[in-house]
Amino acid sequence: MNEENITRMEASDELHEECGVFGMYDFDGGDVASTIYYGLFALQHRGQESCGIAVSETNGPKGKVTSYKGMGLVNEVFAQENLETLHGDIGVGHVRYSTAGASTRENAQPLVLNYVKGTLALAHNGNLINATELRKDLEYTGAIFQTTIDSEVIAYHIARERLKSKTVEEAVGRACRKIKGAYSLVVMSPRKLIGARDPYGFKPLCIGKRDNAYILASETCALDTIGAEYVRDVQPGETVTITPENGIVSDMSRALPKEQEARCIFEYIYFARPDSHIDGVSVYASRIKAGRFLAMDSPVDADLVVGVPESGNAAALGYSLQSGIPYGTAFVKNSYVGRTFIKPKQSSRESSVRVKLNVLKEAVDGKRIIMIDDSIVRGTTSDRIVKMLRDAGATEVHVRISSPPFLWPCYFGTDIPEREQLIAYNRTVEEIRDIIGADSLGYLGIDRLSEMVEGLPICKGCFNGTYPMEPPTEDIRGDYER
């Protein structure tokens, strides 16, 4: 991992998701690029480093794909003039955040692959744990890689499997049997839109419909944004193929027994937008529940409950509803600061926390505050936020976290770092409380997580070290950009 990225990781105490994916097929032949643009805009929270759109005309020259991608936010990369060049009634889009390695335009998605059987465009959310081994196998048989992302490994395998498969969806299914880890895929072939979700269901993927067009998206909020109706979620282990002739065709041959599924709990705690529903469970309702559980399990007498925006707000409201302590706003967030803004240098007076957040002194002065946040990773910002509240006149600051303590790294698409960098590693809750300068500290109990998501099977690996599949023997997360 290069020095720049080590600095970036040390400077940030936020969790990051990998990506958001979006696909659309308009059976009436209308252009889909502008709708994909708005869909990606709704998924911007899932990735803010790069984005892209690839489209094709199903009645045009077979295999001709037009694409545009670049570094930055959706509204920075796309202007009216480049959207207008993207003609096609089928397309895929992607927003990306990388967990390690250099962030470059070459690694932006969707990936477009030209091969013997035609053209594929692919957008991927997730992280493979056997990407290194699969990549080496491909390289030894002559494959030349243009990127350093594991998504290209998936694209190559789909292309190779297509040579011995009757259909592209069969090739996608075969490729998915070779890859291990977390993935939600949207694949565009010349005449089909295909969605695939890993058997554990780590990453979300749903199906929507608007008029005579079908949509695949990471979250339901993207469907709402474009005025589409929610049809259903793609199930863990399912491949769906969308065509005008057959509508939605499902293949569940990769599915696991329900009890083995393992959705990423952080979709509900932090990653997803609160107005999304994932696998039938409201993200907002989950966060309200988390706050209620914190109030039940870690009560404290105080004057005001506040959330660290944005993901702490719903949990703070839940804490307030359960405890009867008033809910209020203590922080003003600068909405124009993304997750990728230029960090102030250490010598600079500007604090990256203060650039993002400021405290409303009138709201907290002279009060005992309960501050709800979604997680503490390294602890490098929690102490500053607590200090900001004290500097604004808070007489007490009690911190409550709507997740359990991080004790293990994640290999499936969340950039939770090595154990030694985690503040909870080898420290008691009391020691962490002392480091961040709070009057008290309480975490959500790990036993509350299943209740929070109405009993859906979830992955708790980052909290208890028990992963749904055997993790890699060495930490390869820094080897390739993801």
Pairing of strands 213-217, 19-26: antiparallel
8 Å CB contact between 315 and 402: yes
One-letter amino acid of 419 = R
pLDDT bucket at 417, cuts 50 / 70 / 90: confident
What whole-number distance in Å separates Cα of residue 21 and Cα of residue 358?
Answer: 32
Those residues with Cβ within 8 angstroms of residue 175's Cβ, 6 or more apart along the chain or in another chain: 154, 157, 158, 160, 161
To the query of whether residue 19 is one of the catalytic residues in this protein, the response is yes
For residue 343, pLDDT over 70 is answered with no
Which among 218, 5, 180, 179 is positioned nearest to 92, based on CA atoms? 218
C-alpha 254: how far from its chain's center?
A: 23
Q: pLDDT by residue (tens digit) across 45-61?
A: 999 999 999 999 999 88
**Which CATH number describes the domain made up of 3-256?**
3.60.20.10
Report the pLDDT value the prediction gives residue 10, as an integer from 0 to 100.
37
Beta strands at 193-197 and 206-210: parallel, antiparallel or unpaired: unpaired
* 387 closest CA partner among 371, 401, 363: 371
Angle at 184 between CA 74 and CA 136, to 5 degrees: 100
Catalytic residue among 19, 221, 459, 462: 19
* pLDDT of 7 above 60: no
* Residue 279 CA, distance from chain mean position: 15
- For the domain made up of 277-464, the CATH class stated in words is alpha beta
Instruction: Calculate mean pLDDT across residues 454-480.
Output: 81
Residue 83's pLDDT is 95
Q: Where are the domains of the chain?
A: 3-256, 277-464
Q: What is the pLDDT of residue 59?
A: 92
